[in-house]
Structure 1
Amino acid sequence: MTPQAQEKMNDIEATVEEEKVELKKILKVLDSITGLIKPAVEDVKQKSEAKKEIDLPEFVKPADEHLRYLFTRVWTDDELKMQQKLNVLDKIFSVDSTPHDIRKEYRKFRFPLDKSTIPILADKDTTVQKDIVDPFYRGANSLDEFAQKIWDVRGAFTDRTRLSEWIAKECLDYKE
């Protein structure tokens, strides 16, 4: 081999070695990036699988697929606060096409989830009636328990229109 050819061969070998060193550096950086990304990817994957495996409340299971889908999407939305979820679900479950039995069970399901405001069952100006309703509402563990207590003292309401409207909204079966 001529000295010029040998020199070119040495240059090529040196370049190849430099490129190997650069490739090793790049692979090391890629490995560290992969190590950083992998836990995040696994976390997203686990959250996605958890959403798929949601155990639906019993009242939703007999509903049609659209209602189940809407309930699941709202209920598993991590960006919505509970009050927002309930507001959306209230709208969905108040639609007339939603079967009465499912609406009734939804109202029971919803009752313990938000007690931030007492239902307006009396005239807005009558504080005595609000004083009666508030302790029953805050102390009740279920919609049926609260409704029964209110029904038992219905005579305290001078105008029972709001009470009747509330009973209808909650899909309860009390009648005078």
Structure 2
Amino acid sequence: MRSDIAVVQIERFSQSWESDVWSLISQVWAEFGIHDDPRAESDLGDLAHAYQEGASGFWIAISDSRVVGTASLKDLGDGLIAMKRFYVLKEFRGTTIGTAQRLLDHLVQHARQGGATTLCLGTIELTVAAQRFYEKNGFQRVPRSELPTERFAAEIDTLFYKLPLA
């Protein structure tokens, strides 16, 4: 590996990283014109407990003692699991460092180990690069009506994807 490429570790969220997670999410939201406080979101205001049921979980990507990415899974039951809070700082996106790919691979592995058969997600239209990333990784765009979006989607989500895991 080249010495100028950042080393990124994926680890389970702990409360010691909470303010760093909020900061990262605020930065990514601002990039897309969202200036809300992440702590106002019910799950982000209680990260220690929001992703604890079943195969749920919340992970962070860390480089040089700094949170550079987040990703979570919300177990919806019946083999369905939702990917949420998938954020990567702009300078850590792309194939050179591979932070997003490492986070996604970690989520898929965890979901499969937890018995999930389908991974789903919601996103917004502005995230064109993210959509390409999901599609490159086998996600299929589906109509909102095909998923129980009331159990996982954010209000602003307009596009929905699913990935068969079985």
| TM-score w.r.t. length of structure 2 | 0.29
Higher RCO (CA-CA < 8 Å; seq separation 6+): 2
The structure with the greater share of residues assigned to strand is: 2
